[in-house]
Amino acid sequence: MSREWRDASADGARAPVRISRDLDFPRAAVFEMFTDPKKAATWFGSPEGAVKLVFEWDPRPGGALRIHDEFEGRVGRTTGTILELVAPQRLVFRSVTTIGDGTVPFEALQTVTLEELGPRRTRLTVLVQVLALGSFPGGVGSLEEGYQGGWAQTLDMLQRELTSAGPEHPAPTERAPARQPR
């Protein structure tokens, strides 16, 4: 097993990978998809088509992240720690991922922010800072491209899960109209 790390900044100072998506759902509903472990298990942390073998998600500062999945014949293992959680606007976690034979291809700091654009619209932005690399083929540039595509796919899955929750997504401050007696 290779445990030789190098600082990702050795390839030159790099800006974080930025992925952003506007969603037609209230910020509280989107945040709940991240912080409810049962909901998060349906869409978060694995490539589309992967089989989740383990999903443990304790969304609180100091809480653990552990995801094992099988994809294209290889097992990926991600472990991490939640560093910050500010409801309903920010989630920060650090993760290390190993693939296949145990080589350590990467470690990253990931920051998810949710900006309220209106009562039923949210901008979700993910910043990924690659911190260290092991034996990732193609180096940090290839890994950053992988994060860009991986998070885009993850946000597609999130969009589908939010949509399948039902057509009505009232803003948290709205109240349903009172029913009139017949």
75-90 burial, b for 16+ CB within 10 Å, e for fewer?
bbbbebebeebeebee
> Rounded CA gap, 58 and 62, in Å?
8
Asked whether residue 117 is assigned to any structural domain, the reply reads yes
Alpha-carbon dihedral 31, 37, 38, 44, rounded to 10 degrees: 70
Residue 30 lies in a domain: yes
Residues, the chain: 182
In a domain, 45, yes or no: no
- In whole angstroms, give the CA distance from residue 109 to residue 131: 7
**Would you say the pTM of this structure is higher than 0.85?**
no
How do residues 36-66 score in pLDDT, each as one tens digit? 999 999 999 998 899 999 999 999 999 999 9
- Supply the Cα-derived Rg of the chain in whole angstroms: 18
- Residue 95: pLDDT band by 50, 70, 90 thresholds? very high
What CATH number corresponds to the domain at position 145? 3.30.530.20
Q: What is the pLDDT of residues 128-140, one digit of tens each?
A: 998 987 777 777 8
In a domain, 144, yes or no: yes
Domains contained in the chain, number: 1
Task: Please report whether residue 98 resides in a domain.
Answer: yes
Expressed as residue numbers, the domain containing 122 is 6-36+86-164
Domain assignment present for residue 58? The answer is no
